[in-house]
């Protein structure tokens, strides 16, 4: 059974710093991995999607990497801003039973002005 | 273009009561999903649909029923609510054009409390 872990559960950093969020998964047989952002009381917004054959994806100040063999992904946020404060979740889609996304429990990020 | 909307936003039920959560999307998506989000457990898939008139079980389907009579709507029903069903429920949809590569679009959620 696929398990997705995100450590730490919460992270606070001063504004302007670069930071890395971590995601690990137990079964490397994945089709793709996504990073989502969730603001308090809101739904999820997709940030980046990485196919299993890709190593990284970039969007603006965000860069997501994937090392499938080691079961790890990172989300790098450059020059953090208070508006980046949110919970960040990663989710993997399996090769088998592709309708299902397995989510991590998220990292709650706070950017201190 | 409203995206994915959910009704209601909040609801309090007593044990044994029934209710229906409505999800609507205006993106002409084929696929729709219902998830629940609980503290420390991440989002878990309850039921999903790959098109009008179809439904399938997800990871945690017990105690829930769904219907997809119209392409744009996906209903989640609780026939006899239990305190264990206290959760935040999210609906999502995605396109069939690139099912395995396209992202899912989420609604704002329904916060349900069962007393």
pLDDT for B17-52, tens place per residue? 999 999 999 999 999 999 999 988 889 999 999 899
* Residue A39, number of CB atoms within 10 A of its CB: 13
pLDDT-derived band of residue A77, with 50, 70 and 90 as boundaries? very high
Optimal mutation site among A32, A37, A43, A91, interface B, most CBs of chain B within 10 A: A43
Alpha-carbon distance B50 to B31, whole Å? Answer: 4
Give the distance from residue A106's alpha carbon to the nearest chain B alpha carbon, in angstroms: 7
Beta strands in A30-106 (DSSP E): 30-38, 44-51, 56-59, 62-67, 72-77, 86-94, 101-103
Answer yes or no: is pLDDT of B15 > 60: yes
Q: How far is CA A85 from CA A7, A41, A58, A82, A88, in A?
A: 16, 13, 19, 6, 9
Tokens standing for B113? 């409390």
Optimal mutation site among B5, B7, B9, B42, interface A, most CBs of chain A within 10 A: B42
Tell me the per-residue pLDDT of B49-107, one tens digit each, with 9 for 90 and over: 989 999 999 999 999 999 999 999 999 999 999 999 999 999 999 886 555 567 889 99
Alpha-carbon distance B71 to B52, whole Å? Answer: 5
Closest Cα partner for B33 from B66, B82, B70? B66
Give the pLDDT confidence score for residue A66 in this predicted structure.
97
């Amino acid at each position: 059974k696929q398990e997705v872990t995100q450590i730490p559960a919460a992270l606070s950093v001063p504004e302007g710093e670069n930071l890395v969020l971590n995601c690990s998964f137990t079964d490397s047989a994945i089709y793709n991995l996504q990073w989502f952002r969730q603001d308090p009381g809101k739904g999820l917004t997709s940030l980046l999607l990485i196919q299993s054959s890709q190593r990284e994806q970039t969007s603006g100040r965000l860069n997501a990497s994937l090392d499938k063999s080691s079961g790890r992904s990172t989300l790098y946020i450059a020059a953090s801003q208070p508006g980046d404060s949110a919970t960040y979740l990663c989710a993997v889609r399996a090769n088998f039973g592709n309708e299902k996304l397995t989510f991590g429990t998220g990292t709650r990020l706070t950017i201190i002005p | 273009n409203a995206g994915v909307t959910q009704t209601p936003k909040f609801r309090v039920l007593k044990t044994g009561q029934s209710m229906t959560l409505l999800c609507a999307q205006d993106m002409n998506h084929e696929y729709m999903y219902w998830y629940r989000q609980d503290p420390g457990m991440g989002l878990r898939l309850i039921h999903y649909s790959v098109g009008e008139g179809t439904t399938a079980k997800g990871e945690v389907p017990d105690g829930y029923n769904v219907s997809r009579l119209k392409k744009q709507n996906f209903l989640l029903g609780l026939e006899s609510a239990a305190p264990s069903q206290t959760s935040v429920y999210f609906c999502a949809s995605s396109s069939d054009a690139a099912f395995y590569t396209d992202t899912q679009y989420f609604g704002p959620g329904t916060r349900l409390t069962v007393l």
